Amino acid sequence: MVRALLVRGMLAGLAAGVVALAVSYLLGEPRVEAAVAFEESHAHGHGHGEELFSRTLQSTGGLATGVLLFGTAVGGVAALAFCFALGRTGRLAPRATAALVSLAALAGLYLVPFLKYPANPPSVGDPDTIGRRTALYVLMMLLGVLLASAAAVLGRALVPRFGAWYASVAAAGALLLAVGLAYALLPGVDEVPADFPATLLWRFRLAALAVQAALWTAFGLLFGELAERVLRPGPAPAAARTPPPLPAPSVR
């Protein structure tokens, strides 16, 4: 059963990656092109070396490869998380459990680090600090996953004493408090040039958020339907349910 759900999770992740790819190409790429044009107009004759891959290849084949591989990989991981969550989240049906896992993944893997370290277009950021910025983002992402998991465990432990509603409120409050402390303790990163268009920056970040929202929404709907069919197969066909006729008695 786990293997069947894992395969379907990867397939749903691949299909969700197609949806995210379309959103990324339609909303994200125009903002990337505008950011690249801004960077080139402010280069003042300083060459950046020859590009290993052209922008055309980056915005087509490179983008498709990255998004589809990412969708397939996170689809498999989310399917395993679904297997763990199924039956541990009350009486939720497979579709509702898949939606809950997708929402938790969007919040923990993306929204929590995004609000602290939002996405920036290519021309924003110092190349010398890319390693530090990446490490901080990954750390915030891991903290988001761990804190969300801890909040879920806390909420489940409080249900027998306070009921489902108050336990959920207490767990959500504890999660917000822990995330707020992490935001306050971790260093900030602000490397946006003063003359960079604020509208372009805002639209780029909204496009990045839309890509992730499209990915996890599509995955939750697709995988929920596939998981429902695996865990709750439909009734057998009428021909299969009809017992074979009794043999006619022999006449002597």
Q: What is the pLDDT of residue 80?
A: 92
| For range 39-49, the mean pLDDT | 59
pLDDT in tens, 12-23: 999 999 999 999
Exposure b/e, 118-153, CB count within 10 A at least 16 = b: bbbbebbeeeeeeeeeeebbeebbebbbebbeebbe
| For range 104-124, the mean pLDDT | 87
pLDDT in tens, 53-104: 566 666 667 788 889 999 999 999 999 999 988 877 767 788 999 998 999 8
Looking at the chain, how many residues does it have? 252
* pLDDT confidence bin for 1, thresholds 50/70/90: confident
Distance between CA atoms of residues 195 and 38, nearest Å:
10
* pLDDT confidence bin for 246, thresholds 50/70/90: very low
Q: Which residue has the tokens 């044009």?
A: 37
Task: Determine contact, residues 231/142, Cβ cutoff 8 Å.
Answer: no
Q: What is the pLDDT of residue 46?
A: 46
Mean pLDDT for the chain overall = 83
- Report the share of the chain in percent with pLDDT over 70: 83
**Distant-in-sequence, close-in-space partners of 63: CB < 8 Å, separation ≥ 6:** 21, 24, 25, 29
* pLDDT confidence bin for 152, thresholds 50/70/90: confident
Locate 117 and state its tokens.
């370290």
Distance between CA atoms of residues 82 and 111, nearest Å:
20
